[in-house]
Amino acid sequence: MRFDTVIRNATVVTATDSYRADVGVGGDRVSAIAAQLPADDAGRIIDATGLLLIPGGIDVHTHLDMPFGGTTSADDFETGTIAAAFGGTTTLIDFAIQYKGQSLRQAFDTWMKKAHDKAVTDYAFHCIITDLGSAQLEEMGQLIRDGVTSFKLFMAYPGVFMVDDQTIFRALKRTGTNGGLVCMHAENGGVIDELVKEALRRGDTAPKYHALTRPPRAEGEATGRAIALAELAGVPIYIVHLSAAHALEKVREARDMGLPAYAETCPQYLFLSYDNYEEPGFDGAKYVMSPPLREKWHQDVLWKGLAKNDLQVISTDHCPFCMAEQKELGKGDFSKIPNGAPGIETRLTLVHDGGVRPGRISMTRFVELCSTTPAKMFGLFPRKGTIAVGSDADIVVFDPEKSATLGVKTLHMKVDYNPYEGRSVKGSPAVVISGGQVIIDGDRFVGKKGSGRFLSRGPSQAPSGL
C-alpha cells in the first residue's frame, strides 16, 4: 500500500483512547493505522516522536465577515480560517444570518459566497433565524436537506435578532419533524434592555456597564425557559456560549431529569473574568461580548461542568472587532460597542494549557470537547472528529511541550488586540493537516486560499445521549 503521507511514531489521541501508532494518509482520508506502516515510497514522512496526533479541532461557533453593531467582524473566511488552522482547528461552523423579510435560502447563499473562494479549511453553516413566517418554517426542511441542519435563535438583542417565545416554540416544534437542532442564545433580552436604558439614563456609559446590565440571573432565566420550551416541544436543545453558573445549573437539572439539553462554553468564560472590564480607560471594550465575562468564581463551576459532561462542547464564538474604528464606536455609550472578541486561534492551546496540564480534564476529554462531540452534535461524525480509517485526514500533530506567548504579534487573527496578550501557554500545533494536505508547517501557512470545502451536514447525533 502506498501512502501520500505517513506519520510515524505518534501517540494517537481520540475521545476514547491514547496509543502508539503510525498513521497513513491516502488522498484526503486516513487510509491505515498500524503499529508500523511501510513508508519507503510515501510522498512525505512526518516523524511525530514525542508528539500527539489529535483529530483537527472543530469550532462550531464562529462569526466571520459578519455585519453586526454597525460594522463587520474583522476576520473574513480567508484570514479567519488561516488563523483557525494555526490554532489546530480544521473545521468550523459559521452562522448565516437571515434578516427580516428574507428567505432562509438567501442567508445560506450569501454566506456561501463569503466563504467559497476564501476558506482554507472545511466549513459548514448554521442558519440564524430572525423572521419565521410559514414560508420560512417550510424552508427549514429544505435547508436541512442542503446540509444546514441547525438553527440559531436569539432570546436577546431586541430589534436586531431577538424572537419571542411563540416563534421559538414554533421552530422547536418543527425540528421534531424535520430533524434539525435549535441552538439558543439564552439571555433575557427584555430585562437587559431595561437595565441598559436605566444605566445610560444614570450616565453609566463605560464598558463595564455592558456586563453590569447583563446579570448572570438573566442568562439563567433564559436558559431555563429555553429548556422548558424544548421540553414542551419534545425536542433536544443546544445552548450556545454558556457563561454563568446560573445557566449551567439549569442545564444540569434538565440533564439529571433525562432531558436532551446540551451546552457549549468558550475559553473566554474559562480564562477571563469581570475584572477585565475594570482595565483602565476604554480597554474594557476589548471584552464586550454577550453574554459578558462573569465574576471569577464561575470559572471553576464551568470547569467542573466540562469534566462531568454537563457541558459537552468548547467553541470560541470568535467575533473579532478592532479597538480602532470598531470597538471605538461605543466610546461614551457601552451599548454601541460591537459585541464580540477574537478566539478562533487560541482555543486548543488555552484549553490544553489551562485544562489538561493542571489536570482539570484529561487529554481524551480535551479531544472529545474540542473535536469529537462537536462533530457528533452537528452531524459531521465520523467523517470529522476522530482519527480512524476512512475519516477525513484532518490531523493535528500537537506538541504538548511547545511554549508560546499569546499576543497580536505572534497570532494571525486580523484584529488589533488580543484578550490574552502576554499570557504564556504550553502546548501548540506543530503540523496541521487538512483534507490530507499539510496546511501549517511550524510557523508557516502552506495551504491554499479557497481549498476549504463546504460540508453538507447530517442530523445531529445528540439524541443518542451525548
289 binds, among Zn ion, ligand URP, none (CB under 5 to 8 A by kind): ligand URP
- 8 Å CB contact between 53 and 12: yes
Question: Which residues in the 338-357 window bind ligand URP by CB under 6 A?
Answer: 339-340
Q: Which is nearer to Zn ion, 29 or 185 (CB)?
A: 185
267 binds, among ligand URP, Zn ion, none (CB under 5 to 8 A by kind): none
Among positions 84, 129, 289, 380, the unique one binding ligand URP when judged by CB under 6 A: 289
SS3 call for 136: helix
327 binds, among ligand URP, Zn ion, none (CB under 5 to 8 A by kind): none
Among positions 178, 290, 349, 371, the unique one binding ligand URP when judged by CB under 6 A: 290
SS3 call for 72: strand
| AA identity, residue 75 | D
Q: How many residues bind ligand URP (CB under 6 A)?
A: 9
339 binds, among Zn ion, ligand URP, none (CB under 5 to 8 A by kind): ligand URP
352 binds, among Zn ion, ligand URP, none (CB under 5 to 8 A by kind): none
Q: Which is nearer to ligand URP, 318 or 453 (CB)?
A: 318
Q: Is 11 in the site for ligand URP (CB under 6 A)?
A: no
Backbone angles phi, psi at 38, to 5 degrees: -70, 130
Site string for ligand URP, 54-93 (x = CB under 6 A): ---------x------------------------------
Q: Where are the alpha helices (DSSP H) in 34-133?
A: 77-86, 104-116
| AA identity, residue 246 | H
Q: Where are the alpha helices (DSSP H) in 308-456?
A: 347-351, 363-367, 373-377
Minimum CB separation of residue 55 from ligand URP in Å reads: 25
Question: Which residues in the 170-209 window bind ligand URP by CB under 6 A?
Answer: 185
332 Rama sector, left if φ>0, alpha if ψ -120 to 50, beta otherwise: left
Q: Which is nearer to ligand URP, 5 or 290 (CB)?
A: 290
| Angle of the 216-233 helix axis to the 189-202 helix axis, nearest 10 | 160
SS3 call for 237: strand
Taking alpha carbons only, the member of 21, 46, 55 closest to residue 35 is 21
H or E stretch covering 89: strand 89-97
CA 169 to chain centroid, in Å, comes to: 25
Among positions 219, 317, 345, 353, the unique one binding ligand URP when judged by CB under 6 A: 317
Residues within the interface to ligand URP (CB under 6 A): 63, 185, 241, 289-290, 317, 319, 339-340
